[in-house]
Chains A and B, each alone.
Chain A
């Protein structure tokens, strides 16, 4: 595996809250890595640290051999690291094509409008929005807006794409479509790092999974191993001890049934 992204000992605090604590992992070229964890685990914060929205308090981030730890997002994207956001915010009054063209203009390299538009059209084809290129972004359904969000990031011609909950709010047909899009992105040689709550999808898509809980890395590995990790199961299902103690108390009082 050729390393593309190397996150080493990264921590990010907000006041007294340790949103991300000492997280390290490596993501390889052409790899799909899933990032999961209960609400408030620090997943989006980790994304924000990786693409430079936040500076980490500790640790380093290397991307394609370069130290990008303190670089802002608009510089990181020039190196080939693009992302989507959980809450999609297209430029509502512009067309679908114009939205994606903006992504292409300010991506890996600055591009003038003509070649940017060409890139945008190719990308729209890949995400299945080509027929809606001239519609206003506002008129898209939520599934369409999610695909537009992916297209905008893809138009930056990244080596690594961060996807923040692109499946949320989609119906099963739309989820299956988006899974196909993500697989296609990887097959074209782009690595994917994705946050997702739709578990069946993330488990089947990912080569490897990182699990965060309370800001710490709880586990990392193949989906089938991660799903059987006792610590991961406890993070999702809760502490079994509390229930055991409660049962003892109830039995002790003779109030069962």
Chain B
């Protein structure tokens, strides 16, 4: 199988506090991989360290077999490693369309900006309706669509999404998950951090369960769902 993204024994943290204690992941092409785990397990830190916005202390990140650990964040983005960050991090005073254009800023995606914009509008018709609106006036669900759309504008080789459903009404969350499912069908490689374990397991191909900065459980999502070990990773008993 083709691993688009490999993470080996990654360690990192903030200041003196170590959060990741050797995370190893394999992300297969065209698959949806979820990373779940309780608060403080290191999910967000894992994505940030892969991206490089949090520097790694040791270990490495490989894209298509090539070591990219030391590359800057924007250089990684230029190779198609894309993060939709927790809390969306939109440009509040820019319009929807301007936010999307920012996603195509990298050299990688600039040429095909127009086509990609059309594709994002097809995926999220709501964004097209609101293209002139400032992003801060959007609802939570629409903002999440915009954050995903901005990520898609970058032509991701791997789209990493941090907390898709957080703070969204169940109906909206469902809608976004269906979109994710169809993007996956179109061949997109996705890494998803998700707090609802049931959603993550129901939707994904492969699951990693983190606990205290380590991979506690790993496997085919259907198998992980049947293991009953997940509760223990979260609750310790």
Contact = CB atoms under 8 A, between A and B. Distances in A.
A239 B198 contact: yes
B196 A242 contact: yes
B88 to A, nearest CB: 18
Given A142-B17, A202-B236, A239-B196, 4 more contacts: A226-B235, A227-B231, A233-B235, A237-B198
11 contacts: A38-B38, A169-B17, A199-B237, A223-B237, A227-B232, A232-B235, A233-B231, A243-B199, A246-B178, A246-B199, A255-B181
3 nearest interchain CB pairs? Answer: A199-B236, A238-B196, A243-B198
Interface residues of A, number: 37
A168 interface: yes
Interface string B173-211: 110011001100100000000011111011100000001
Given A198-B212, A246-B203, A236 B236 contact: no
Interface string B103-136: 0000000000000000000000000000000000
A55 B182 CA distance: 51
Contacts of B201: 243
A242 B211 contact: no
Given A198-B212, A237-B197, A243-B202, A39 B235 contact: no
Interface string A148-182: 00000000000000000000110100000000000
B234 A237 contact: yes
Contact of B237 (A39, A224, A243, A250): A224
B16 interface: yes
Contacts of A171: 18, 21
Given A168-B40, A197-B39, A246 B17 contact: no
B231 A246 contact: no
Given A38-B39, A236-B38, A238-B196, A250 B181 contact: yes
A199 B236 CA distance: 5
B236 A255 contact: no
A226 B235 CA distance: 9
A243 B196 contact: yes
A255 B179 CA distance: 11
Nearest to A38: B39
Contacts of B165: 242
A188 interface: no
Contacts of A242: 165, 170, 173-174, 196, 198-199
B211 A199 contact: yes
Nearest to A238: B196
Contacts of B198: 237-240, 242-244
B16 A203 contact: no
Interface in B202-232: 202-203, 211-212, 230-232
A141 B16 contact: yes
Given A242-B173, A242-B174, A142 B38 contact: no
A227 B13 CA distance: 29
A246 B177 contact: yes
Contacts of A197: 38-40
A76 to B, nearest CB: 28
Contacts of A247: 202
A227 B235 CA distance: 6
Contact of B236 (A200, A240, A241): A200
Interface string B39-51: 1100000000000
Contacts of B231: 227, 233, 236-237
Contacts of B197: 237-238
